[in-house]
Amino acid sequence: MSIPIRNVAIIAHVDHGKTTLVDALLKQSGVFREGEDVPICVMDSNDIERERGITILSKNTAVKYKDTLINIIDTPGHADFGGEVERVLGMVDGCILIVDANEGPMPQTRFVLKKALEKGLRPIVVVNKIDRELASPHAAVDKVLDLFLELGADDDQCDFPHLFASGMGGYAQNDMETKGTDMVPMFEAILRHVPPPVGDSDKPLQLQVTTLDYSDYLGRIVIGKIHNGTITMGQQAALIQRDGSISKGRITKLLGFDGLKRIEIPSATAGNIVAVTGFADANIGETITCPNEPMALPLIDVDEPTLQMTFCVNDSPFAGTEGKNVTSRQVRDRLFRELETNVALRVEETGEADKFAVAGRGELHLGILIENMRREGYEFQVSQPQVIYREIGGQKCEPFELLALDVPEEAVGSCIERLGQRKGEMQDMVVGANGRSNLEFVVPARGLIGFRGEFMRMTRGAGIMNHSFLEYRPNCGEISARRNGVLISFEEGVATDYALMGAEDRGTFFIKPGTKVYKGMIVGENNRPQDLELNICKSKQLTNHRASGGEELVQLKTPIDMTLERALEYISGDELVEVTPQSIRLRKIAKKLARR
């Protein structure tokens, strides 16, 4: 007799504590032995996830509670990785929506909740971080109900169960009057409110591919939920691909989940989430089925990308000096390999052999791909992100975003003014008691390109900005995102203290003394609207005469640290970001530079 199963996804806005709560559930279930050194956010296994404190890839774990196997899937909170959320929601029968007790629902809460409600799931709401200052748990529950009604939830979904919890404290409680001591109330809520999976073990096999992994020893690993039938190690099976074609194969390995480990199992029945090998050509949304009675499940529908940029081979004077993968073939192979696991990405070849059009869900989505490639030794260039237009009802339409700002009161006026210039429309404004205000806007996606840097300057680093895709709307006309000109090096060499000090009154630099530069490389931002070419490699002429003022120690202003995200937001249409394993450089497109 098979054991009872519950399949549940954890969904939330970024940084509301999903992964920390999963940590607490794992500890409560006894996955870790006593005294074991357990890292914080144990589910965030990717280096970039740990560095940035965000979940990028959905991951599943399994724990046992009262003889019930609970499959828990930790999903990303950022809307740029919505493709991960959409495909795993088809594997589960319930979800836990986590909301910060202080912030309440945020833009990406709306995004992930909308996807869950569309799947017909009835969420369990967990108000997290109740032990923090300024926490307002009951107000957060009221805001969540308002959001449910706004998104058109039915009566059953609006009558959601809710808990209060602290992921860091490792406890959950049913009300605010009784202090919690452990995560038992959350486990009990899962057993009570998440229905068991629907499926018939006696029907022909149907397993839908929702996640792909790779092992040097096993090859491609397919992870998915068994919707019907039984799967056994070594059995013959068939893969129904997107185009309807059928290829036959054999289940060479069958793996189940136990805590954070994958364990070999002899068989599994309907409702289980398993990993299988033996189908090297399997892709997201396809069905592994019985070869005698092949029946496909509905393909997973994922929202289309909204932002596109061009990836091209590095042709700067420093090309090939810092990376090991520099050719167009290597860059092309890596981009197309990413398509195997990144369901929300699109890659197209252009008319030029060394350029590729790459489309994604946002700047962060594409930025993570670029960061992964540079860490793997790739060297290439990328263009300014551009929004993807669509024709809807014979009208040219563009993507709009829902933007939420949390800013100090003194910065409210400048934020409203700047977003007005970018065609943003304010929807709501709430003045808090702590000297901060919450603003909500609907803004065209292209109006947000390059806005984050301005926003951080306007709020002096004290502002919080979140946005998520809302919908496509008719084109709103020209947007003048004004930016000062740039300072450009007009020769190759090494930047010197003397030259940088002499040009400090011209603008703000992105480099420091000793940085290698080349002709056309952007080294700073001009104080004026036009671009300016400078010689920043000249050195002081030495003579045997002592200067009248004596030798003085001169300190240069701290340069702006041009990170990858800031560089992608900063560049304009005639500029590129040069990406190597060691450096992020900005440059003018060579043809544009030659024309001036």
What the block records as the tokens of 553 is 């120690």
What are the φ/ψ torsions at residue 2 (nearest 5 degrees)? -75, 150
Residue 284 annotated as lining a ligand binding site? no
Q: Identify the CA nearest to 153 among candidates 195, 125, 190.
A: 125
Q: How far is residue 530's CA from residue 168's CA, in Å, rounded to a whole number?
A: 51
- Residue 200 assigned as binding residue: no
3-state secondary structure of 557: coil
User: Is 15 known as a binding-site position?
Assistant: yes
16 labelled ligand-binding: yes
321 annotated to bind ligand: no
Nearest to 581 by CA among 195, 318, 289: 318
CA–CA distance, 264 with 255 (Å, rounded to integer):
4
Q: How far apart are CA 471 and CA 111, in angstroms?
A: 11
- The Cα 485–Cα 148 span in angstroms is 46
Read off the tokens for 247. 């290829």
Element counts in the chain: helices (H) and strands (E): 15, 35
DSSP 8-state class, residue 213: E
Q: What are phi and psi of 312, to 5 degrees?
A: -140, 160
545 known member of a binding site: no
DSSP code for 596: -
Which two three-digit tokens encode residue 441?
């806007």
Dist. CA 543–CA 238, nearest whole Å: 82
d(CA 265, CA 515): 56
DSSP 290-357: -SSS--PPPPPP-PPP-EEEEEEE--STTTTSS-SB-SHHHHHHHHHHHTTT-TT-EEEE-SSTTEEE
Helical ranges in 54-97 per DSSP H: 82-89
Tokens standing for residue 264: 């070999």
Q: Is 193 annotated as a binding residue?
A: no
Q: Is 300 marked as binding a ligand? A: no
Q: Is 227 annotated to bind ligand?
A: no
Contact (CB, 8 A) for 226 and 207: yes
Q: Is 19 annotated as a binding residue?
A: yes
C-alpha span between 143 and 440 (Å, rounded): 15
Cα separations (Å) of 286 from 65, 75, 208, 211, 298? 32, 21, 6, 11, 9
> Strands 380-383, 575-579: parallel, antiparallel or unpaired by DSSP?
antiparallel
d(CA 125, CA 144): 8
Q: What is the CB-side half-sphere exposure of residue 64 using CA atoms within 13 A?
A: 9
- The binding site for GTP comprises 15-20, 128-131
- The binding site comprises 15-20, 128-131
